[in-house]
Amino acid sequence: MAGESSVAPLYITMHEADNVAIVANDGGLPAGTRFPSGLTLVDKVPQGHKVALVDLPAGAPVRRYNVTIGRAMRDIAAGSWVHERLLEMPDARSLEALPIATVKQAPRAPLAGYTFEGYRNADGSVGSRNILAITTTVQCVAGVVEHAVRRIKDELLPKYPNVDDVVGLEHTYGCGVAIDAPGAEIPIRTLRNITLNPNFGNEVMVVSLGCEKLQPERLLPPGSFAIVDERNVADIGATEAAKLDVVCLQDDAHVGFMSMIDSILATAEEHLERLNGRRRETVPASELVVGVQCGGSDAFSGVTANPAVGFCADLLVSAGATVMFSETTEVRDGIDQLTSRATTPEVAAAMIHEMAWYDAYLQRGSADRSANTTPGNKKGGLSNIVEKAMGSIVKSGSAPISGVLSPGEKLRDRGITSGLVYAATPASDFICGTLQVAAGINLHVFTTGRGTPYGLAEVPVIKVATRSDLARRWHDLMDVNAGRIADGGATIEEVGWELFRLMLEVASGRKKTWAEHWKLHNALVLFNPAPVT
């Protein structure tokens, strides 16, 4: 990769076999610009957009990342702007005859000696924050819970200084849905597993309406979570099913709105007392569970931010931590790279199963993977999903892929406590984030090129900018500037290490992310492939 001053005309090539490169300079470059290589621009080319390095005859493969991202729809002269209207997108790679577990890697040298301060849970997981979560079974109760959460924050939270926050787990599911239809288990298990995220300390508390389809016992059946306070159970001689701590708004005992609010506050206080007794302890970096995703991608995503995240992912795996990457439509075109990196044929088969399931899901809606790219992606220079996917997969680094989760599943239910995992999710930022929270992440890393103020209330989100221009303008929203890689100011390795060290600071609570500082919280959005009624 070339990398000098951003003032001199500069293009970036990802692989020596590529016949297109992207223009790196802020604001793009005018026609007539001559590069040090001798190439002269025929057209004005915007920043992040592709320029033909050689004459491309009609029908010729256009290569970036050493992958054919499309075919030239007409003759394209060297120095021309290669935009999406000049490219015919190739068909998706067949899921037959893929290379299976072919990449044999030498064992990695373990990365030892790194620690953070976290909250150890009874199940062995570690939280990065100490949050009271109030689970809801149905959207009907959302307004009441929002009111109660406001009062808890104002009146109770100041008495419990070791508790970071109170979060109502609001969502649109719970009733008016075909709850026994195939696929309905996905939103239900997602909500269950979010409730059990390590940042909530297993203090399970539910607010239910009463008449909804998703009854509390169906959401959290006996045995699905540990009872923290056995004393109450013994006192009332409760059965397994009665152990769940539920405030039911339709309960006959409630007379008036304030009765409901008082009941929620009283229940919350019991949990706050126990949460307040928790203390951070020094734990190895192997207890990090990091979800990575991208949103608002541009052509620099795969050049700067995602390679730096990939380098950091390798560091995490070497440290014995768990890293999860997702976004099925953004890895579908690189499925052969992923199956070849699987540790076993079973892991590869699980990945193929998830891709096939998603292909069928999209087909039911008369869509395909090309529905992924946005107008902003294209404006940022990404011509199609093939090009976007190659830049997206880089986030996973180079480690072997040792596990696969279906949407809404939890790592610990699959016995996964380390390594690189593919967690199948849609690429939609809010749905992917929601499913990764369910999987059990205690940190979230989000790369963006176009810029998004994304944040979660449940887990800290570290945002990485792909371009220095974005990092400069959004200086109080972006946590890391990977654009320095394109400017020549830092290497991929340097930014990867910076991110790794920042993760330990953020996980320890010593540093807040910008999204935490401003309390920028996107809604939880459950993935529901089943019908509504």
Kindly state the DSSP code that residue 165 receives in the 8-state scheme: E
Pick the stretch among 110-118, 315-323, 381-389, 428-436 that binds Ca ion (CB under 5 A): 428-436
CB of 186 to Ca ion, least distance (A): 18
Residue 331's nearest CA partner among 297, 375, 369, 378 is 369
144 lies in the site for Ca ion, by CB under 5 A: no
Cβ nearer to Ca ion, comparing 29 with 427: 427
Site string for Ca ion, 250-289 (x = CB under 5 A): ----------------------------------------
Alpha-helical segments (H) within 45-173: 142-151
Residue with tokens 């959460």: 149
Query: Which residues on adjacent β-strands are paired with residue 142?
Result: none
Q: Which of 298, 314, 387, 429 binds Ca ion (CB under 5 A)?
A: 429
Residue 498's nearest CA partner among 518, 483, 487 is 483
CB of 427 to Ca ion, least distance (A): 5
Burial 133-151 (b: 16+ CB within 10 A, else e): bbbbbbbbbbebbeebbeb
Q: Which of 125, 293, 297, 396 binds Ca ion (CB under 5 A)?
A: 293
CB of 464 to Ca ion, least distance (A): 13
Cβ nearer to Ca ion, comparing 197 with 293: 293
434 lies in the site for Ca ion, by CB under 5 A: no
With contact defined as beta carbons under 8 Å apart, do 324 and 441 qualify?
yes
What distance in Å separates the CA atoms of residue 70 and residue 61, rounded to the nearest whole number?
6
Cβ nearer to Ca ion, comparing 286 with 425: 425
Residue 205's nearest CA partner among 131, 139, 112, 102 is 131
324 lies in the site for Ca ion, by CB under 5 A: no
Cβ nearer to Ca ion, comparing 132 with 432: 432
18 lies in the site for Ca ion, by CB under 5 A: no
165 lies in the site for Ca ion, by CB under 5 A: no
CB of 18 to Ca ion, least distance (A): 25
447 lies in the site for Ca ion, by CB under 5 A: no
456 lies in the site for Ca ion, by CB under 5 A: no
385 lies in the site for Ca ion, by CB under 5 A: no
What distance in Å separates the CA atoms of residue 352 and residue 335, rounded to the nearest whole number?
8
Pick the stretch among 160-168, 243-251, 424-432, 485-493 that binds Ca ion (CB under 5 A): 424-432
Cβ nearer to Ca ion, comparing 340 with 374: 374
CB of 172 to Ca ion, least distance (A): 19
295 lies in the site for Ca ion, by CB under 5 A: yes
Sign of the dihedral through C-alpha 448, 453, 458, 462: positive
Cβ nearer to Ca ion, comparing 314 with 429: 429
What distance in Å separates the CA atoms of residue 211 and residue 248, rounded to the nearest whole number?
10
Beta strands at 419-423 and 461-465: parallel, antiparallel or unpaired = unpaired
440 lies in the site for Ca ion, by CB under 5 A: no
What distance in Å separates the CA atoms of residue 486 and residue 488, rounded to the nearest whole number?
5
Q: How far is CA 457 from CA 306, 434, 477, 518, in A?
A: 24, 11, 15, 11
Pick the stretch among 32-40, 209-217, 430-438, 469-477 that binds Ca ion (CB under 5 A): 430-438
Cβ nearer to Ca ion, comparing 187 with 295: 295
427 lies in the site for Ca ion, by CB under 5 A: yes
With contact defined as beta carbons under 8 Å apart, do 150 and 264 qualify?
no
Alpha-helical segments (H) within 123-251: 142-151, 185-195, 216-219, 230-236
Cβ nearer to Ca ion, comparing 98 with 294: 294
203 lies in the site for Ca ion, by CB under 5 A: no
43 lies in the site for Ca ion, by CB under 5 A: no
Q: Which residues bind Ca ion (CB under 5 A)?
A: 293, 295, 427, 429, 432
